[in-house]
Amino acid sequence: MNGLRTGPTVGIVGCVAYLVVLVVPYLIVETTSAVGAYYGAGALSPAIAAVFALLSIILLAAGREGRTDPSLAAGAALVLGVFVVGVSLLWAATVPTSLVLGLTESTLIEQHRWAVVVAGAPIPLGAVWFAAALDLF
């Protein structure tokens, strides 16, 4: 496997998966304002992490295609990926359980906040894989 292509692709797929997981409550919960309160209830909103994920897509794609310095793209994507996971973890740990359980009767939403954290994990993983393929370690 070519890490110069596979690593960034893993990171890009992780970014897209992260963004898709963030959209899921809007599809499950009937009132949009309840989802807004859910995302705003933690210490930091995962919307911040979503912006970092979007930036990571651009960085990883540009580095993979050689439009920017690959080592710079790998390093920046690694930092952004760590921030995505960190912000998501902080948010998931600080969202009140009563708010989560009050959103809907679906059991899917109960585990959603932890799914957000897990969905962010491939972003720094792909960036590390890319950096390792570039022999930056």
Count of domains observed in the chain = 1
Could you report the per-residue pLDDT of 14-31, keeping only the tens digit for each?
Answer: 999 999 999 998 888 888
- The reported pLDDT for the residue numbered 100 is 74
pTM above 0.85, yes or no: yes
Give the tens place of pLDDT for each residue, 70-111: 999 999 999 999 999 999 999 999 988 877 766 666 667 778
DSSP the chain: --HHHHHHHHHHHHHHHHHHHHHHHHHH-S-HHHHHHHHHSSSS-HHHHHHHHHHHHHHHHHHHHTSS-HHHHHHHHHHHHHHHHHHHHHHHHHS-HHHHHHH-S-STTTTHHHHHHHHHTHHHHHHHHHHHHTT--
Supply the range of the domain harboring residue 85: 3-133
